């Protein structure tokens, strides 16, 4: 354990910066010792001889002119006392930092413009000015920064040229660690049979990537700045060939695949639900065999269709369970806040904590879980000033779950597709939140109402999970059996109001927002119904039809 002593020079009494640095060093397992304010050079030399530190961190934030004499004396005393094998650090304002650099005493000079992740990287022994300091895979990228989350943003403009220029700008800004490429709908569905594309829809929903070379161009655009990792949406059919394409062209950082969706359930592909379940499991397995992380993004898909909170929590567990059973070793659990947009912050946080407890109950030596948080798109207003406020508010709430990845949603998305400037500004807003977070924040996860909601949702989600397991006792593991999961949708155990009229889902579920949380609701009786009641009604109806 390396020892750091730290204090301020001369008559400087500004200690906030040095104390923040020591707090970060504590988290990185350094032994830290604050030696006080306004230390003279002789006092610093005596303390070095007494305490035998590995690192001496000094701060000076007053007018720069007196600093010349102080550092001249420090340099002379270091030589005079034959002080060696110590790493010297300086923190100050931009003017005082320029003075500090002149004396060539300090191994690193911080002028206050650095983001927290740069400081953490330095404490971890990394120099972010060098290309090799940026890990080329997701898990090591996370480990290089945690507890500071790595940041992700999606990018897909209507032309390849616009997209490439934006990727170059974002990469050079060094504010985003992962760029999620958004292929247009044509590419996701018809990449391997492009004769079926409707060319009028080119660029709808993303960038019109039409060849492996297009993907490689996108990859090459990111090889600058902080060398962000790339990832892409999965295809909606031919999904194994599409996974191979992504791995070979952009070295896909992780796979995002649904379990139930991109099928007849949502109309984003032609597959029957049972076939989609089988193929999506195969995609999980394919990535698991290659040690590529996997995200199964079903929980928020159900919430986006107004399924009540208990279903979202149950599906979070089922999705992670399927990934584990398919051999995935590193699982990315995405927690989308603000879905639906009218959910209250305390009820939202309770829902996320319930998901986390169930999902992370699956963790063992062969299954790791990494938390990814984001804001829900529908929560962003078209007024761009208010949208910036929403981005900041949602990010601050999400920091309560200590995410490994924060998926930055561009504040402009309700108004227009994010360009490079929008992405950079959105990332800087979130970085401002993170900077404050590291000063220490209120732990909202201990709030009484939050915990009460978490515990209720865990109980209700287990009712759903247990019921699905009981649907087919003839199979070894019903929760990964495509026929059983299809039946759970068909009879309405898993359902959503937006699925009304579906050919495969029951589509009769009614939900209502009450006191900031979304519940199953009996409109005839005008009351909330709990999961035991709801499931009991469903099972009785199913039996009566047999």
**pLDDT value for 129:** 58
Quote the tokens at residue 347.
């009820």
Q: 155-187 burial, b if ≥16 CB within 10 A, otherwise e?
A: bbbbebebbbebbbbbbebbbbbbbbbbbbbbb
* Contact (Cβ atoms closer than 8 angstroms) between residue 491 and residue 538: yes
Burial class (CB in 10 A: 0-12, 13-18, 19+), 474: exposed
**pLDDT value for 23:** 86
Q: How many CB atoms lie within 10 A of CB 514?
A: 12
Phi, psi of 332 (to 5 degrees): -100, 110
**pLDDT value for 132:** 61
**pLDDT value for 198:** 87
* Contact (Cβ atoms closer than 8 angstroms) between residue 204 and residue 261: no
Q: How many CB atoms lie within 10 A of CB 463?
A: 19
Contacts 24+ apart (CB under 8 A), 170-173: 170/225, 170/228, 170/420, 170/423, 170/424, 171/221, 171/222, 171/223, 171/224, 171/225, 171/226, 171/227, 171/228, 172/224, 172/225, 173/225, 173/420, 173/424, 173/427
Q: Of how many residues is the chain composed?
A: 546
Phi, psi of 373 (to 5 degrees): -115, 155
pLDDT tens digit at each of 546 positions of the chain? 899 999 999 888 888 888 888 888 988 889 999 999 999 999 999 999 999 999 999 999 999 999 999 999 999 999 999 999 999 999 999 999 999 999 999 999 999 888 777 888 888 887 655 556 789 999 999 998 888 899 999 999 999 999 999 999 999 999 999 999 999 888 888 999 999 888 888 878 789 999 999 999 999 999 999 999 999 988 888 889 999 999 999 999 999 999 999 899 988 778 899 999 999 999 999 999 999 999 999 999 999 999 999 999 999 999 999 999 999 999 999 999 999 999 999 999 999 999 999 999 999 999 999 999 999 999 999 999 999 999 999 999 999 999 999 999 999 999 998 999 999 999 999 999 998 887 777 899 999 999 999 999 999 999 999 999 999 989 999 999 999 999 999 999 999 999 999 999 999 999 999 999 999 999 999 999 999 999 999 988 878 776
Angle between helices 448-470 and 531-544 (to 10 degrees): 20
The owner of tokens 């359902």 is 495
pTM of this prediction exceeds 0.75? yes
Measured CA to CA in angstroms, residue 344 lies from 149, 379, 389, 397, 518 at distances of 24, 12, 16, 11, 10
- Cis preceding-peptide flag for 340 (omega within 30 of 0): yes
**pLDDT value for 113:** 82
Burial class (CB in 10 A: 0-12, 13-18, 19+), 469: middle
Which is it for the CA torsion 489, 493, 494, 495, positive or negative? Answer: positive
């Amino acid at each position: 354990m390396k020892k750091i002593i730290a204090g301020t020079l001369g008559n400087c009494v500004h200690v906030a910066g040095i104390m923040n640095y020591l707090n970060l060093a504590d988290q990185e397992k350094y032994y830290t010792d604050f030696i006080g304010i306004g230390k003279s050079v002789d006092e610093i030399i005596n303390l070095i001889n007494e305490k035998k530190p590995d690192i001496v961190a000094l701060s000076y934030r007053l007018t720069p002119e007196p600093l010349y004499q102080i550092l001249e004396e420090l340099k002379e005393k270091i030589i005079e006392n034959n002080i060696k094998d110590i790493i010297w650090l300086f923190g100050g304002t931009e003017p005082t930092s320029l003075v500090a650099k002149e004396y060539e005493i300090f191994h690193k000079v911080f002028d206050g413009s650095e983001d927290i992740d740069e400081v953490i990287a330095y404490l971890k022994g990394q120099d972010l000015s060098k290309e090799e300091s940026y890990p080329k895979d997701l898990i090591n990228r996370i480990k290089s920064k945690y507890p500071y989350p790595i940041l992700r943003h999606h990018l897909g403009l209507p032309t390849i040229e616009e997209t490439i220029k934006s990727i170059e700008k974002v990469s050079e800004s060094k504010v985003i660690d992962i760029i999620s490429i958004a292929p247009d709908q044509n590419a996701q569905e018809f990449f391997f049979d492009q004769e079926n594309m409707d060319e009028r829809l080119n660029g709808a929903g993303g960038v019109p990537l039409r060849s492996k070379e297009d993907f490689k161009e996108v990859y090459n655009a990111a090889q600058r700045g902080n060398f962000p990792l790339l990832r892409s949406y999965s295809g909606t059919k031919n999904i194994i060939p599409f996974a191979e394409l992504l791995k070979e062209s952009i070295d896909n950082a992780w796979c995002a695949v649904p379990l139930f969706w991109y099928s007849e359930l949502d109309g984003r592909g032609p597959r029957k639900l049972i076939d989609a379940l089988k193929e999506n499991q195969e995609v999980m397995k394919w990535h698991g065999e290659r040690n590529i992380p996997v995200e199964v993004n079903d929980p928020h898909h159900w919430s986006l269709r107004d399924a009540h909170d208990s279903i979202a929590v149950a599906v979070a567990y089922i999705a992670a369970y399927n990934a584990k059973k398919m051999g995935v070793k590193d699982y990315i659990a995405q927690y989308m806040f603000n879905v639906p947009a009218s959910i209250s912050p305390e009820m939202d946080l309770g829902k996320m904590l319930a998901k986390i407890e169930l999902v992370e109950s699956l963790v063992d030596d062969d299954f790791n879980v990494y938390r990814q948080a984001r804001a829900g798109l529908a929560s962003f207003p078209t007024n761009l000033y208010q949208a910036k406020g929403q981005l900041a508010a949602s990010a601050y709430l999400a920091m309560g779950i200590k995410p490994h990845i924060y998926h930055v949603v561009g504040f402009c998305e309700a108004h227009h597709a994010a360009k490079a400037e929008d992405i950079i500004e959105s990332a800087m807003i979130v970085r401002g939140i993170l900077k404050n977070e590291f000063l220490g924040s209120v732990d909202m996860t201990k709030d009484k109402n939050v915990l009460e909601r978490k515990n209720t949702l865990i109980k209700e989600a287990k009712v759903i999970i247990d019921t699905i397991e009981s649907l087919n006792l003839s199979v070894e593991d019903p929760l990964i059996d495509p026929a059983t999961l299809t039946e759970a949708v068909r009879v309405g155990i898993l359902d959503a109001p937006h699925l009304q009229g579906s050919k495969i889902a029951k589509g009769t579920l009614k939900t209502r927002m009450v006191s900031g949380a979304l519940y199953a609701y009996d409109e005839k009786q005008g009351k909330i119904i709990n999961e035991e009641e709801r499931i009991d009604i469903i099972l009785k109806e199913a039996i009566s039809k047999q």
